[in-house]
Each structure stands twice: as C-alpha cells, then as structure tokens.
Amino acid sequence: MAEKFERIAVYPGTFDPFTNGHLSLVRRGLGIFDRVIVAVAQDSGKNPLFSLDERVQMIREVFRGQGRVEVEGFSGLLVDYVCQKGLNTVLRGMRAVSDFEYEFQMALMNRKLKPSIHTVFMMTDYRWLYISSTIIKDVARLGGSIGSFVPEAILGQINERMDEYRSRLNGQQ
Ligand code: COA
C-alpha cells in the first residue's frame, strides 16, 4: 500500500498581531492541506510592536489543541526556512487587487531563489478584505474596539499592550 503523503503548507507573515483575516486564511488552507505551519518572520522589514516570541506564543494560543496547525518563528530567507523543513509550498492570502503586485514580485523572487518552491494563493474572506495588522493597531491605540478583528484568545494581550502604550503617551504629556 502506498505511504500516506502529507500535504503541508507554510503560511508566512509578520503577524503583528495575528488577525481574524489570518485565521480565516489558515482555516481555508486546512481545506486543501493536511497541515499548515504558521511561520512568523523575524525579518520582514517591519518594526513590530510584539517581539517574535510574543507573536509566536499568541498564535500558538489561537491554535491551542488544533493538531493540524503548527506555529514557528523563523529568521532569514523564507525559501531557506521552507527548504530546511523539507517542504516546497508557501501559502499566501490575497486581499484585493492592490496585493497582487507585491505578491507577484515576492512569489517570483522566491521562485528565482529556489525554483522548487511553489506559492499557492487563496482569497481572503470578504469580511476581512479591508483589515491589516497596522490598521488594527491604529484603531486600538486610539482607544477603538478591536474585538471583532482579532481572535478572542489574544484580544486581552493586545489590549494590554495598547493600554501600556497609551499610559506611556499620557505620561509624556
Ligand atoms: N487578512 C487580513 N490582513 C492580512 C491578510 C489577511 N488574510 N493577509 C495579509 N494581511 C495584512 C498583514 O497583517 C499585513 O499588515 P501590515 O502591513 O499592517 O503588517 C499586510 O496585510 C501585509 O501582509 P503580508 O503581505 O503577509 O506581509 P507580512 O509582513 O505579514 O509578511 C513576509 C511578509 C514575512 C512573508 C516576507 O517579508 C518574508 O518572506 N520575509 C522573510 C525574509 C525573506 O525571505 N524576504 C524575501 C522575500 S521575497
């Protein structure tokens, strides 16, 4: 009998913080892959509010008890990380036409760096087309409610960090 072949996708991002849009994409990914590895990037050219360890820990909390999802941090090139794991598929979400150019550029660069790597795109659920980690942080910083945009399991931790941020800001005034 043939050995069972597992289809595994790596879903990379900065996830600062992880949102319901990312969650919805992982869920969709699980519809076509046996397992999804959420790969939290150290090197994404951004200056994250949450440390790499915090981001990994928060996303693990979101998927606690869900054996088909793993969460790991990585540094360096995405293609190197994927190859080191013996995998060849990257999962990416596409929110709108505006995402296309950047995604296209990244997929082609990754393919040029490692031709064996494939990028699979899935549409983000229409409910989350307009959100990004930055816009959610902006709303929270200014005291808006973000409860409907981020997973329940990490809402408290995000709000706590925003409260600290606001107190620091008030202290400076
Ligand atoms: N729902 C809601 N928001 C979403 C989303 C979804 N399904 N998908 C993406 N977003 C948001 C993200 O939160 C992010 O918001 P932000 O810009 O405010 O932080 C924004 O859309 C862009 O997301 P994405 O395109 O996934 O960027 P990223 O910074 O999260 O991830 C990496 C980029 C980590 C994949 C890329 O930098 C990388 O591979 N780094 C490793 C180093 C490397 O290999 N570099 C060369 C790449 S060619």
Regarding the domain delimited by 8-129, which CATH topology (the fold level of the hierarchy) does it fall under? Answer: Rossmann fold (3.40.50)
Candidates 23, 117, 132, 154: which one to mutate for ligand 1, based on the most atoms within 8 Å of Cβ?
Answer: 132
Q: What's the maximum distance between 2 C-alpha atoms anywhere in the chain?
A: 71
Give the strand order in the sheet containing 118-123.
69-74, 35-41, 8-13, 89-94, 118-123
Known catalytic residues are 22, 46, 95, 133
Residue 151 amino acid letter: P
Q: Where are the domains of the chain?
A: 8-129
> pTM of the full predicted structure?
0.94
The set of protein residues with a Cβ atom below 6 angstroms from ligand 1 is 12-14, 16, 19, 21-22, 25, 41, 43-44, 46, 77-78, 93, 95, 106, 109-110, 124, 128, 131-134
pLDDT in tens, 21-68: 999 999 999 999 999 999 999 998 999 999 999 999 999 999 999 999
To the nearest whole number, what is the mean pLDDT of the chain? 93
Instruction: Name residues whose C-beta falls within 8 Å of residue 136's C-beta, 6 or more positions apart in sequence.
Output: 17, 19, 146, 149, 150
**Distances 78 to 20, 42, 43, 84 between C-alpha atoms, Å:** 23, 10, 9, 10
Share of the chain above pLDDT 70, in %: 97
pLDDT in tens, 75-112: 999 999 999 999 999 999 988 877 889 999 999 999 99
Instruction: Check: CB of residue 115 under 8 Å from CB of residue 36.
Output: no
